[in-house]
Amino acid sequence: MCGIVGYIGSKPAQPLILEGLKRLEYRGYDSAGIACMDNGKITVVKKAGRVANLEAELAKTGPLKGTIGMAHTRWATHGGVTDANAHPHRDDKAGIAVIHNGIIENYSVLKTYLQDKGHVFKSDTDTEVLAMLIGELYSPSEGVDLEAAVQAALREVTGAYAICVMCEGEPDTMVVARKGAPLIVGIGAGEYVVASDASAIVAHTTQAFPLDDYNVVKITRSGFRTSTTTNANVTPKVMQLEMDLEQIELGRFEHFMQKEIHEQPKAVRDCFRGRLHKEDGKVILGGLSNFAKELVRARRVVLVGQGTALHAAMIGEYMLEDLAKVPACAEYASEFRYRNPIIEDRTVAIAVSQSGETADTLAALHEARDRGALALGVVNVVGSTIARDTDAGVYLRVGPEIGVASTKAFTGQVAVLTLISLFMARRRVMSADQCARWIEQLESIPEKIERILEQDARIRKVTERYVERDNWLFLGRGYNYPTALEGALKLKEISYIHAEGMPAAEMKHGPIALINDGMPAVFIANRGRQYDKVLSNIAEVRARGGHVIAVATEGDDDIRRHVEDVLYVPEIIEPLSPMLTVIPLQLMAYHAAVIRGHDVDKPRNLAKSVTVE
């Protein structure tokens, strides 16, 4: 979604915040803008389209001067993708400029109120309303400085926001605030970098603190003050950002998605490090150790997530029932939060999220927790909102994921959910010997992923054969039904090919009507309990002219007789197979997008982190 970068210090602000803005491009956006203040005068430049358009405009206007400034990438919600709707927005009275992530839900009422007071609006956005409101309330002669005006304005708004505000009347001050959308203040030597994402901060400092909801921070070059919107003092929790520049740079790869697919062996190793104890036949998860009793006694587990995270959660559902023998169900967080769910005593809710900022997942977690569930997080971004709002949790430790299409986070989520299942299983129903055998299988995964990645060139060749087709099916059963959903999602989100994923048995209940001559159908057909049934489904597709690409188990030569193309994955016990079978699907989606000429890391309309409903 939208991105925020702000700077106050002694260096020229423009190059620094533009560089930060580029690091946020991956989040998805459709326009960009910048404001810098010099000698008490704010200059704003903004353009629809990419940051490159903004840079071209700045090349015409000349660089903006000033050592205080802010920049924004906008993902349109209120109002179309136009220069006027891009941020920053200004008021018409007090020299205020605002950038904003989130949605001001009562903007319409506030706009009418402000129009009645004579304010004239230039955009269709909710953010301009906020800028006007702050300007309306700003009154230094009556003791209402910028900080107080922002606090007062935010007391009037409903909705979600992360904002950064400058004011010509206070040229050495920047005020930032948050509710429901992430914002971090990076602390340097005599300078501060504010951003919606740590990746725009780490080049300058690794000391930082995230804002909590309703926090307002007034920043000057000599220090900062954190308060609430009601002006109560707050002591922020300063932490070390665990991210280095190399992790967020492309290195030898052409795209972040490609880099992250190839990072998966390392990502899974990092995820397992220190957690698998084969000799003792147990899994140690520091984040859950204080809640082991609750997990042993759990009656039910509810997993919530969206998109890829939901697919991982669905595998977690199978795994928890299979291994830990606890009833489990995975649900769209967006549905769960509004459907008046029944949360029985001793329910555990697990929010699965790469970013830890997905609005629906966060709200679903709150709903479950408010109804008495133990709230756990399976999150990648350290210190993110979901990570902070849970009772306990387990981090993925797969490193920053920049590609909009989630890849290594998926394997990390499945890996962590497997660890949680074993953690619970070992205390409920599983012997140390059985657990040790699972651990042995888990330890083999990184090397097996490496073997799949070695087939990259062949996977591209197979993709080339089908890439012109506009409709694909992805089919799987059992543990690999969610993998089929994930394969379809990957293909559609970056290559814009229509793809449907479903349980292979469901095909006969309608979707089989879609199959026509040469339609690609990707079957996850690794050896497992339902292998023969999958073969029957393959036959049904081919009988209608469909072309089958099978993801099969190494050594299964016989399957070649039944399909057009085979991509092999090493043998592994069935519950762990999604961490292998998904890899060829990720690579196929990647190659399809590249061959079709799409911008893999900035797919149209998509945002990395969906912080609005």
The residues of the shown chain that bind ligand M6R, judged by CB under 6 A, are: 306-309, 353-355, 358, 361, 404-406, 489, 493, 606, 609-610
Judged by beta carbon, residue 308 or residue 537, the one nearer ligand M6R is 308
CA distance 317 to 399: 25
Q: Are 365 and 351 in contact (CB under 8 A)?
A: yes
How many Cβ atoms are within 10 Å of 181's Cβ, its own excluded? 26
- Which residue has the CB atom at the shortest distance from ligand M6R? 307
> C-beta of 106: minimal distance to ligand M6R in Å?
26
Length of the chain equals 613
CA distance 569 to 101: 42
**What is the SS3 assignment for 557?**
coil
Token couple for 448? 């097996």
β-bridge pairing 215-220 and 174-179: antiparallel
> C-beta of 609: minimal distance to ligand M6R in Å?
5
Please list the residues that pair with 73 across neighbouring strands: 3, 32
Burial class (CB in 10 A: 0-12, 13-18, 19+), 234: middle
- Which phi and psi (to 5°) does residue 498 adopt? -70, 125
- From 186, 171, 164, 176, select the one nearest 225 (Cα to Cα): 176
Q: Catalytic residue at 608?
A: yes
- From 387, 69, 1, 4, select the one nearest 200 (Cα to Cα): 4
Judged by beta carbon, residue 264 or residue 306, the one nearer ligand M6R is 306
> C-beta of 413: minimal distance to ligand M6R in Å?
8
Of the candidates 47, 408, 448, 608, the residue annotated as catalytic is 608
> C-beta of 330: minimal distance to ligand M6R in Å?
13
β-bridge pairing 174-179 and 161-167: antiparallel
Rg, C-alpha atoms of the chain: 26
Q: How far is CA 509 from CA 91, 247, 314, 481, 513, in A?
A: 57, 45, 22, 16, 9
Judged by beta carbon, residue 209 or residue 590, the one nearer ligand M6R is 590
> C-beta of 183: minimal distance to ligand M6R in Å?
17
Judged by beta carbon, residue 406 or residue 421, the one nearer ligand M6R is 406
Sole residue written with tokens 């109560």: 232
Judged by beta carbon, residue 375 or residue 559, the one nearer ligand M6R is 375
> C-beta of 352: minimal distance to ligand M6R in Å?
7
Judged by beta carbon, residue 309 or residue 439, the one nearer ligand M6R is 309
H helix runs in 263-301, sequence order: 264-272, 292-296
> C-beta of 310: minimal distance to ligand M6R in Å?
8
Judged by beta carbon, residue 227 or residue 355, the one nearer ligand M6R is 355
DSSP tag of 533: H
- From 483, 492, 451, select the one nearest 551 (Cα to Cα): 483
> C-beta of 305: minimal distance to ligand M6R in Å?
6
> C-beta of 4: minimal distance to ligand M6R in Å?
18
Output the furthest CA–CA distance in the chain (Å, rounded). 84
**What is the SS3 assignment for 575?**
helix
Q: How far is CA 536 from CA 500, 529, 569, in A?
A: 19, 14, 21
> C-beta of 95: minimal distance to ligand M6R in Å?
37
Residue ranges with strand state E in 143-280: 161-167, 174-179, 184-187, 192-195, 207-210, 215-220, 223-228, 239-240, 276-277
Q: Are 507 and 541 in contact (CB under 8 A)?
A: yes
Judged by beta carbon, residue 354 or residue 553, the one nearer ligand M6R is 354
Judged by beta carbon, residue 14 or residue 495, the one nearer ligand M6R is 495
Q: How far is CA 359 from CA 185, 265, 527, in A?
A: 21, 30, 38
> C-beta of 46: minimal distance to ligand M6R in Å?
26
Judged by beta carbon, residue 132 or residue 248, the one nearer ligand M6R is 248
β-bridge pairing 300-305 and 328-332: parallel
Judged by beta carbon, residue 230 or residue 605, the one nearer ligand M6R is 605
Angle of helix 126-137 relative to helix 146-156, nearest 10 degrees, comes to 130
Of the candidates 2, 164, 271, 435, the residue annotated as catalytic is 2
What CA dihedral angle connects 466, 468, 473 and 475, to 10 degrees?
Answer: 20
Residue ranges with strand state E in 510-564: 520-525, 547-553
**What is the SS3 assignment for 202?**
coil
What are the catalytic residues? 2, 608
